[in-house]
Amino acid sequence: MAAINICTTLWACGLRVPLPRSFQSNTMKICILDGYTLNPGDLSWHNLERLAMCQIFDRTGQDQILERCADAEIILTNKVGLTSSMLEKLPKLEFISVMATGYNVIDVSRAKELNITVSNAAGYSSQSVAQHTFALILEHFSMAGAHNQHVTQNDGWRKQPDFSYSLKTRHDIGGKKIGLIGYGAIGSQVAKIAQAFGMEVLINRRNTKGELPEGMRYASLEEMAAQCDIISLHCPFTGDNKHMVNEGFLNSMKKSSVLINTSRGQLVDEKALATALNEGQIAGAGLDVLSQEPPGGDSPLIGATNCIITPHNAWSTLEARQRLMTIMVENVRSFLIGDPINVVNL
């Protein structure tokens, strides 16, 4: 206990020292339920393993959760859900660290009632998601990937009579209007990049009291749909905004406009979007998220016209995952010394 008290004092002074090896408890156990997405092999669990015994699973099925977590005081999970009934059957559990920003996979209210602390991670992927957002935008407007495929797989360039050609008319993004629905850490990063490209930035968020940087302005969803060349979603899924992008919204967008979603698939009515794409109501979509992941065979967006889909990997650059790993270690370490951080169920 003396070692813990010393560490607590040092942390209170702002000195983030590692716990001494003498405190590497033989009784505390960390169970990592779905570690593969965070660390497919290019990172290290070493700093977590220094804190307590770690049992690391790449993936965990719902029927495996209780057995694997039975002796764990600490659980790390990304997408593996822990329901109220599960939490009640894990009497040793004291702390859950969600390896993501969203924590809807945990019944946080019941966890609080059971004195289980729940923490999350925020801000680790802002840069990588913003980067991916523009990768999707630029593919629609510049078509680098499509032209590469045409040249390398279809021998398209060799068959051309001219030194240069385009599969279809391409456009600058400079001077275009981009509408951002949500203006948190990711949305604000996207806005900065958009301005660097010379775009006009419209913002829609619930709180419009804060002053925006020069060159940006608030706009209603109706104004965005009618005026923007690109609409990009950067808001959390709260339940009441399910299918906020629906048939009516899509029909009010410009026919030349593009929808980007790197947020949550549930924000979009996928059948309505597929119809809008296939019928030319909008020009394209770039999606990193779907309502079901992985998608089922009946997903209406797989194969839809001018629809680019990536497998929910905007967040997962090496640098972003390293930041996430660091946050996980700090979450666990802080909990162990009695000063939990990033707590979502206070």
Q: pLDDT tens across 194-224, in order?
A: 999 999 999 999 888 889 999 899 999 999 9
Assess whether pLDDT exceeds 80 at residue 114.
yes
Which among 132, 150, 234, 312 is annotated as catalytic? Answer: 312
The residues, ordered by sequence, that sit 6+ positions from 55 with a Cβ below 8 Å of its Cβ are 29, 30, 31, 32, 68, 72
Assess whether pLDDT exceeds 60 at residue 284.
yes
CA distance 303 to 309: 9
Which among 88, 222, 293, 319 is annotated as catalytic? Answer: 293
pLDDT tens profile 17-60: 544 433 445 578 999 999 999 999 999 999 999 999 999 999 99
Decide if 264 is catalytic: yes
Q: Identify whether the C-beta of residue 93 lies closer than 8 Å to the C-beta of residue 116.
A: yes
Give me the pLDDT at residue 26, please: 52
Assess whether pLDDT exceeds 60 at residue 11.
no
Q: What is the mean pLDDT of residues 178-185?
A: 96
Give me the pLDDT at residue 238, please: 86
Which among 140, 150, 264, 333 is annotated as catalytic? Answer: 264
CA distance 147 to 130: 23
Q: Identify whether the C-beta of residue 346 lies closer than 8 Å to the C-beta of residue 159.
A: no
Assess whether pLDDT exceeds 70 at residue 16.
no
Give me the pLDDT at residue 218, please: 96
CA distance 125 to 324: 8
Give me the pLDDT at residue 83, please: 96
Of the candidates 196, 140, 146, which has an alpha carbon nearest to the alpha carbon of residue 170? 140
Give me the pLDDT at residue 234, please: 97
- What is this structure's pTM? 0.88
Question: Which residue segments constitute the domains of the chain, with CATH numbers given?
Answer: 2-124+319-336 (3.40.50.720), 126-309 (3.40.50.720)
CB 118: neighbour CB atoms within 10 A? 25
Q: What is the mean pLDDT of residues 123-150?
A: 96
Decide if 293 is catalytic: yes
- The whole-chain average pLDDT of the chain stands at 92
Among 22-36, 107-121, 251-265, 282-296, the range scoring the smallest mean pLDDT is 22-36
CA distance 325 to 250: 38
Query: Where is pLDDT greater, at 113 or 237?
Result: 113
Give me the pLDDT at residue 6, please: 46
Assess whether pLDDT exceeds 90 at residue 1.
no
pLDDT band at 346 (very low <50, low <70, confident <90, very high): confident
Assess whether pLDDT exceeds 80 at residue 145.
yes
